[in-house]
Amino acid sequence: MKLLRQITIILLFVFLGELLNKFIGIPIPGSILGMVLLLVSLLTGIVKLKQIDEVSRFLLDHMAVLFVPAGVGLISVIGVVKDTWWILLLISISTTFLVMSVTGLVVKFTRR
């Protein structure tokens, strides 16, 4: 029952994000909006970490499997990608370094 409650809390926030996306029309995916809402709720104490801890750990442990559908979807549009693969590679490499740098700076700032 505890796991069902935890997954319900997470899915509720994803649903709220989807509603915000649909009714307000923010150009951000609803699932991302839901996770931002969950983050704000965790930071403000509305939702306690122990309320979603086990399901969150499970999802993080199995994250690689969750990327399989995206990979299959990429293969289905290989005709479009084969002409612009080098641009996508350049963007992937540069954004990876950007994310790593920003993450490092944020961690350095928050540890002070």
pLDDT at residue 77 tops 90: no
To which residue do tokens 């509305």 refer?
A: 46
Q: Where are the domains of the chain?
A: 1-66, 71-112
DSSP secondary structure code for residue 1 in this structure: -
pLDDT of 70 reads 82
Q: 1-5, 15-19, 65-69: which range is least confident on average?
A: 65-69
Instruction: Round to whole Å and give the CA distance between 96 and 89.
Output: 11
Q: What are the residue ranges of helices labelled H in the chain?
A: 2-24, 30-44, 53-61, 63-66, 68-76, 78-81, 85-110
Q: How large is the angle between the packed helices 2-24 and 30-44, nearest 10 degrees?
A: 120
pLDDT at residue 34 tops 90: yes
Considering the entire predicted model, what is its pTM?
A: 0.66
Mean confidence (pLDDT) of the chain: 90
pLDDT of 111 reads 87
